[in-house]
A and B are shown apart, each in its own frame.
Chain A
Amino acid sequence: MNRFDLFNNINKILKDNLVICNIGLPSQELYKINDQPNYFYMLGSMGLSSSIGLGLSLSQKKNVISIDGDGSILMNMSTLATIGNRAPPNYTLLIVDNGTYGSTGDQKTFTNENTSLKNVAIGAGCKNVLECSGEETANVLSRAIEDQSNSYVIISKIKPGNTSTIPIPLNPILIRDRFRKFIGLVPFL
């Protein structure tokens, strides 16, 4: 199972929640499967999906799922310490760990060698750190969202590989405003 298969599998779960999606192919693949106003596509700022989702979950009550990659977490590893100390129960971080930088040509990341993001997350103080296969992820993710008392970090171990996509054809202000409208903050659109 690769990222695109995984997204097809979990799309039903994502649909009802606020989703922050990582830059590049993850956002483009999610867009290809199903575009929704409650999906915030990152068009830049690699590494910050988990952080944007954390700020959002601290600011309002709806469930937030940050979809991040192994390469992006490695770029902003202090995020795991912040999540380990500050994440509220409505926050779930889903790390799609395919061991490669998929958007830049499938170069291998360190999770392919000696680094375990599960161990890093636990060491950083994250509670409810669950590592699972791509096939198990839909189940694990829905249980995490149903649990209203705890935040989760899920590491979904999948195979590398990408689907052919186009750049997200949406203006950043449109992404911002329809997302805020979904939360109930922007009266127009």
Chain B
Amino acid sequence: MKISKKIIDNLKKGGVDFYLSVPCKLLANMINILEKDKDIYYSAVPREEEGMGICAGAYLGNKFPCILMQNTGIGNSINAITSLLQFYQIPVVFLISYRGTAGEPVGAQVGMARITEDLFKILRIPILHCSSEKDLEKISTFSKHAKVVESPIAILCDFNLMKDDK
């Protein structure tokens, strides 16, 4: 819970006030925290691409949106990222459980893990890769950066960082 709380605290410190999630075991604690938080908007959403659209609308209405998802969700969202978020220069924070990294027990997750960082590189989306608790302190400054560059940004949280966050 300590890690999840730190991530949410830092996102809020960075000004993020609108949250959506497509679930992941590694995001479960964060979702629990967000569900109880009255200071921000939170909702589940069935699919990541749909979430990108809702985030775009939230930004048009002056919210600073974040979508929590697995890295697999990026595969479901490339067109929305390029032809909506990037084309209209809409800042959104992607808070990503980096499935398929060391510690991952599910083989099928490895396919997206292999290409996740390359995809962000091709998309010119800035990445903050969090593999230790210390990295989490950079989240608030990094989130604010999204508004300056008017672009989606991605925070990748390694499997091993999240798995023991009981």
Residues of A within 8 A of B (CB): 20, 40, 42-45, 47-60, 76, 78-79, 81-82, 86, 172-173, 175-176, 179-180, 183, 185
Contact = CB atoms under 8 A, between A and B. Distances in A.
A92 B154 CA distance: 32
B46 A183 contact: no
A57 to B, nearest CB: 7
B49 A76 contact: yes
B60 A59 contact: yes
The 8 closest A-B pairs by CB, nearest first: A44-B83, A55-B57, A59-B61, A51-B53, A48-B53, A56-B57, A55-B54, A78-B46
Given A78-B46, A79-B50, A55 B61 contact: yes
B120 interface: no
Interface residues of B, number: 31
A183 B58 CA distance: 12
Given A172-B87, A183-B61, A45 B50 contact: no
Contacts, number: 113
Nearest to A173: B89
Interface of B: 18, 41, 43, 45-47, 49-63, 65, 79-80, 82-84, 87-90
B23 to A, nearest CB: 14
A43 B87 contact: yes
A21 B57 CA distance: 12
A117 to B, nearest CB: 16
Main secondary structure of the interface of A (DSSP, over half): helix
Most buried by A among B51, B63, B83, B89: B83
Contact of A52 (B45, B47, B60): B60
A91 to B, nearest CB: 10
A54 B57 contact: yes
Main secondary structure of the interface of B (DSSP, over half): helix
A185 B58 CA distance: 13
Contacts of A48: 49-50, 52-53, 56, 80, 84
A57 B45 CA distance: 16
Contacts of B55: 55
A58 B88 contact: no
Contacts of B51: 51
Contact of B60 (A45, A82, A183): A183
A48 B43 CA distance: 17
Given A45-B80, A78-B47, A51 B57 contact: yes
A76 B50 contact: yes
A82 B46 contact: yes
B60 A56 contact: yes
A42 B57 CA distance: 12
Contact of B88 (A50, A54, A60, A172): A172
B62 A185 contact: yes
Nearest to B80: A45
